[in-house]
Amino acid sequence: MVRRTVAVSLASVVSFVCLGTGGGLSGPARADGARSCDRTRAPESGTHRDEPYTPDADDAARMLAGMRRRLGHAPAPPRREPATTTVPLWVHVITDGREGVPDTAIGPQVETLNAAYGGRLGGVDTGIRFELRGVTHTDNPVWFRKPLLSETAMKQRLRRGGPETLNLYIAQLGELVLGYATYPHWYTGRPSNDGVVIDWRSLPGGSLRDFSKGYTAVHEIGHWFGLLHTFENGCSPPGDSIDDTPPEATPTQGCPVRKDTCPDLGEDPIHNFMDYAHDRCMSQFTAGQAVRMRNMWTAYRTPAV
């Protein structure tokens, strides 16, 4: 049984997509697998980083307040044909010398990112594109199988660029995790830790049946741009703080035809990349999410001139 959730580790402060107990990553995911994970509070400072926790509303509020402060409270301009923001991308392939993502999968993953953020799969064109700058290769069994526990050394050695550069690390995550990402407002506190980590089996054509179209990277990079889950805060305000993503009480499981968990507030956005549906059901970002990502980019990730 497969499930996704978002959590955060203390030292790295990252957002997770995780798999639940049952099938494990190596086996096929059940199409009707339920998705839910325990929400625990942050451990005390210095605690070992193998117990992920979920980011709370206060941290999300700080991120949004910081964005508005940095933007000078300027309203977003009307969106027609979006100007293009090109994100430099470095891909770091970690293997154990035997298993790991083949180079032939990198191109399709980058194409999937550009298709998803370009609105070619459904939804809006966010105006965001990704330009591959390079690929590194590292054979390290410890980094490959325990990237979360090894991420300080791994990222300090491999990371390239500044806040505007997306570093995508591809390894093999544990039984519970598909991927995790840092949020943009955390960059100033620990720049060397910035980036996204995903399981190599989630890339296009990977072995995770329900999560093999490359959308784990799309989802996690959404967090890197500052997006919250569509089910954030359930049916209660402020939800994910974006007006055109209807609230939903629970994450989407599997691939339902429709779902309406917050009556009178609009049907659940089951096809949104920031929900937890199976990859085959994900297809879109909204105009509000596009504006949020571009505002977060301007506030936190725009290169210094």
Q: Looking at the annotation, which residues are catalytic?
A: 220
What is the rounded distance in angstroms from the CA atom of residue 222 to the CA atom of residue 108? 18
- Environment class of residue 189 by beta-carbon count within 10 Å: exposed (0-12), middle (13-18) or buried (19+)? exposed
The secondary structure element, H or E, covering residue 180 is: strand 177-181
What are the φ and ψ backbone dihedral angles of 137, each rounded to 5 degrees? -130, 130
Calculate the alpha carbon distances from 12 to 52, 56, 63, 210 in Å: 10, 15, 16, 28
What residues form DSSP beta bridges with 128?
85
Mode of pairing for the β-strands spanning 166-171 and 128-139 = unpaired
Mode of pairing for the β-strands spanning 177-181 and 128-139 = unpaired
User: What angle, rounded to 10 degrees, do the helices at 57-71 and 287-296 form?
Assistant: 70
What DSSP state is assigned to residue 38? -
Give the DSSP per-residue string, 192-239. Answer: GG-SEEEEGGGSTT-S-GGG-SSHHHHHHHHHHTTPPPTTTTTTSTTT
What are the φ and ψ backbone dihedral angles of 108, each rounded to 5 degrees? -60, -35
Tokens at residue 140, please? 């390290």
- Report which of 280, 230, 234 is spatially closest to residue 31, judged by C-alpha positions: 280
Work out whether the CA dihedral 75, 163, 8, 256 comes out positive or negative.
positive
